[in-house]
Structure 1
Amino acid sequence: MSDFMEKLRHLIKGGEGCIDHMYLDTVAKVTVGVGNMLPNVAAAQALPFLLRDSGSSASPSEIAQDFESVTEQEPAKVASRYKQYTQLYLPEGAIDDLLDRRIEGFERRLRDDFPDYDGYPESVRLALMDMVFNLGNRGLITKFPSLTRAVRENDWAECAAQCRRRGIADSRNEEVRNLFLMALG
């Protein structure tokens, strides 16, 4: 794995959290890993969940049971609160594989939106990936037009001034701001 990918995984996991059991996100969607929403039981059953007690592979019915148990809970609580309603966990390697696939998809679209993406300083690529992981590619472009313009103009100081997201921890916003500022040299 590249040094950039290690840094990116660390950044995204730090901002999004990394939860090995199913939980409900802020909009009542069953989620696992690093913000990986599971739209239905079949999506959960496609993942290699293990039984917490024995470490053996979970059956489709056991996965469905955890999914339904979590679905019945009150949404938007701290993710760790949902662990008591589950008997399964997703191993770290599977969480990383899911994260890597999502990162690859976001990066492909970033290259479409910003043709010079691969030539940007590493810190800028990290900052953009953090933002797009949170907002989606379309959300980044449509909700942050001034930042988008600044990225295309390689104006990293303006990017730092325009990257603040609502509903995100101040520490995460500050980390992204500092990543843009690092590109100034």
Structure 2
Amino acid sequence: MATTEEKKTLRAKLEKYEGKLNHMYLDSKGYVTIGVGHLLSTVEEAQKLGFKDSNNLKASTEAIKTDYDEIKKQPANRLAVFYKKHTKLTLPEIDINALTDKNIASFEGELKRIYSDFDTYPVDVRLALFDLIFNLGMTNLKNKWPTFNTAIKAKDWQKAADNSSRAAPISAERNKYVKDLLEKAAKAKKDTGVAAL
């Protein structure tokens, strides 16, 4: 189980790299999104959330559909703030935080399905894997990263670091963050190994 400290670090990093928006927007692939990279795959999913109107009153399902449909019509891969002018509703921070917590719990379960000994990995490795699965999704991480996954399962953190880079639109800074986490774990493992000799 992710510790409180891990969740705090994870939330801060996800907010830094994904952003934290209280209005609907399109992600880099053109999917309607809210909060900290939370996918809204259907209008019905959006309508289950506690959106508020400009008077801070609960938005109607019709108003949520209007915002959702308006966002879907916009061009993809723009800065998230571009979409603000096309929305009338906002999602309260408490709801955004709840969605993020739900996503973290869901991704943790998925990581444990991919890596049976996930709980035994160093904190830095777990944080790196959380960042990857949040961005790639379980299916892509599991099926399209064979060299990386072999390294993780072998606890070869350096090889995993060398194979952790994602393509654009992922920033070089975000890729470096994940690589640095894995290299830190590799160094700690090496130092521990040397000390044990």
| Interval containing the TM-score (normalised by the shorter chain) | over 0.9
Post-superposition offset of 1:39: 2.1
**Larger displacement relative to structure 2 (97-106 or 159-168):** 97-106
Aligned 1:50-89 pairs, distance under 5 A: 50-51=52-53, 53-89=54-90
Counterpart secondary structure, 1:31: strand
Q: Counterpart of 1:5 in structure 2: which amino acid?
A: K
- Tell me how large the CA RMSD over aligned residues is: 1.4
Post-superposition offset of 1:166: 0.8
1:30 alignment counterpart = 32
Q: Counterpart of 2:33 in structure 1: which amino acid?
A: T
Post-superposition offset of 1:29: 2.1
1:20 alignment counterpart = 22
* 1:162 counterpart = 2:163: yes
Counterpart secondary structure, 2:49: coil
Q: Counterpart of 1:84 in structure 2: which amino acid?
A: K
Unaligned stretches of 5+ residues in structure 2? 189-197
Post-superposition offset of 1:179: 0.6
1:5 alignment counterpart = 7
Q: Give, in whole Å, the separation in 1 of the partners of 2:127 and 2:84.
A: 31
* 1:174 counterpart = 2:176: yes
2:91 alignment counterpart = 90
Look at both structures and tell me which one has the larger radius of gyration over its CA atoms. Answer: 2
Unaligned stretches of 5+ residues in structure 1? none
Q: Give, in whole Å, the separation in 2 of the partners of 1:85 and 1:138.
A: 32
Post-superposition offset of 1:76: 2.1
Post-superposition offset of 1:66: 1.1
Which whole-Å deviations, capped at 9, do the CAs of 1:110-163 have from their partners, x for residues lacking one? 112211111111110000010011111221122221111111111111111110
TM, length-normalised to structure 1: 0.93
Sequence identity (%) = 37
Counterpart secondary structure, 2:24: strand
1:101 alignment counterpart = 102
Post-superposition offset of 1:178: 0.5
Counterpart secondary structure, 1:23: strand
Q: Give, in whole Å, the separation in 2 of the partners of 1:146 and 1:119.
A: 20
Q: Give, in whole Å, the separation in 1 of the partners of 2:159 and 2:29.
A: 32
Counterpart secondary structure, 1:88: coil
Post-superposition offset of 1:172: 0.2
TM, length-normalised to structure 2: 0.88
Q: Counterpart of 2:4 in structure 1: which amino acid?
A: S
Which whole-Å deviations, capped at 9, do the CAs of 1:93-112 have from their partners, x for residues lacking one? 11121122122121112112
